[in-house]
């Protein structure tokens, strides 16, 4: 949101923020209808997994729109996002290069398109390095703190895993807190790598090493592109990801 707001300010534009639900088709439809009625000049859909039932409504508005931080399946809708397959692959490869062979993949929504892409990246990285791939090392979730806690409780203090990839900073904090309650030392006994890399990584101890996404750049580029004269020729783009080393690996 900071990138969006900054570029809107530079251009003398106002930003209206409307909650569009978390996968709730009815809430999404109401939000889209609201912005249509407000006669906005453009719509940025941030981290919205749009229900197929609402695609026609969005298109019928004849208002430029762009998805931010969301890769879309079988859709020609434009987006700016991280490459979610690469997120799973690069996170796993980093831990493998650090010597880990038994790596958990925690709290990702495997029913979502982006969740599946990240899972495929994780799976392929394990296979490409001729490592054992165990489905029990994968725990479904919704990127939440409680997902991280419950995953760590599932594995317990005697887990064979030596590293875990958390789907979000919050899920990683859940893993961290539960592991520490077991007396497990991070990263000596268990390494934790989180996906996102927000300020949350720096306010816990040990600080969380992250696969960092370029959220500010997504927002800034999205705002710039949405109001650009060349928007009609824009399709989609990926923003850079990187490993930010802190203290948990």
User: What's the first-to-final CA gap in the chain, in angstroms?
Assistant: 29
Three-class DSSP category at 68? strand
Q: Are residues 184 and 149 in the same domain?
A: yes
C-alpha distances (whole Å) from 84 to each of 91, 120, 197 are 11, 9, 15
Same domain assignment for residues 9 and 33: yes
For residues 237 and 71, what is the distance between their CA atoms, to the nearest angstrom?
A: 10
* Local confidence band at 229 (pLDDT 50, 70, 90 cut-offs): confident
- Would residue 247 count as lying in a domain? no
- Gap between the Cα atoms of 47 and 24, Å rounded: 13
At 51, is the pLDDT very low, low, confident or very high (cuts 50, 70, 90)?
confident
CATH number at 57 reads 3.40.50.2300
Is 184 a member of any domain? yes
Classify 242 as helix, strand or coil: strand
- Once rounded to an integer, what is the mean pLDDT over residues 207-226? 95
Task: Average the pLDDT over each of 57-66, 141-150, 195-204 and give the range with the smallest value.
Answer: 57-66
Q: Tell me the percentage of the chain whose pLDDT exceeds 90.
A: 73
Would 102 be classed as within a structural domain?
A: yes
Measured CA to CA, the distance from residue 215 to residue 59 in angstroms comes to: 25
**62 and 26 assigned to the same domain:** yes
Q: What are phi and psi for residue 100, nearest 5 degrees?
A: -85, 140
Query: Tell me: the pLDDT tens digits for 201-216?
Result: 999 999 999 999 999 9
pLDDT for the residue numbered 52: 86
Q: How many domains does the chain have?
A: 2
What pLDDT sits at residue 153? 98
The pLDDT of residue 235 is 79
| Residues 223 and 129 reside in one and the same domain | no
Rg, Å, the chain Cα set: 19
Beta partners for 244? 210
- Mark out the alpha helices in the chain (DSSP H runs): 2-10, 25-37, 55-60, 84-97, 113-128, 145-155, 169-181, 215-226
Same domain for 33 and 105 = no
What range does the domain containing 171 cover? 84-212
Given this model, what pLDDT does residue 217 score? Answer: 96
Diameter of the chain measured on Cα atoms: 58
pLDDT digits (tens, 9 = 90+) for 64-122: 999 999 988 767 889 999 999 999 999 999 999 999 999 999 999 998 899 999 999 99
């Amino acid at each position: 949101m900071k990138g969006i707001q900054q570029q809107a300010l530079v251009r003398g534009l106002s930003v209206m923020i409307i909650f569009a639900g978390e996968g709730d088709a009815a809430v999404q439809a109401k939000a889209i209808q609201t912005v249509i009625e407000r006669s906005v000049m453009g719509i940025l859909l941030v981290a919205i997994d749009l229900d197929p039932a609402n695609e026609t409504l969005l298109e019928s508005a004849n208002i430029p729109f762009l998805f931010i931080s969301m890769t879309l399946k079988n859709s020609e809708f434009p987006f700016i996002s991280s490459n979610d397959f690469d997120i799973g692959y690069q996170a796993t490869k980093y831990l493998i290069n650090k010597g880990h062979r038994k790596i958990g993949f925690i709290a990702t929504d495997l029913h979502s398109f982006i969740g599946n892409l990240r899972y495929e990246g994780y799976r392929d990285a394990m296979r490409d390095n001729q490592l054992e791939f165990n489905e029990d090392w994968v725990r479904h979730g919704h990127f939440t703190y409680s997902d991280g806690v419950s995953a760590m409780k599932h594995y317990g203090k005697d887990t064979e895993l030596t590293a875990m990839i958390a789907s979000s900073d919050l899920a990683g904090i859940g893993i961290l807190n539960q592991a520490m309650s077991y007396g497990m030392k991070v990263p000596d006994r268990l390494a934790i790598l989180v996906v996102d890399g927000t300020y949350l990584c720096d306010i816990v101890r040990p600080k969380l090493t992250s696969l960092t996404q370029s959220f500010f750049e997504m927002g800034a580029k999205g705002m710039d592109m949405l109001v650009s004269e060349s928007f009609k020729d824009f399709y989609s783009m990926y923003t850079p990801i990187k490993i930010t080393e802190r203290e948990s690996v």
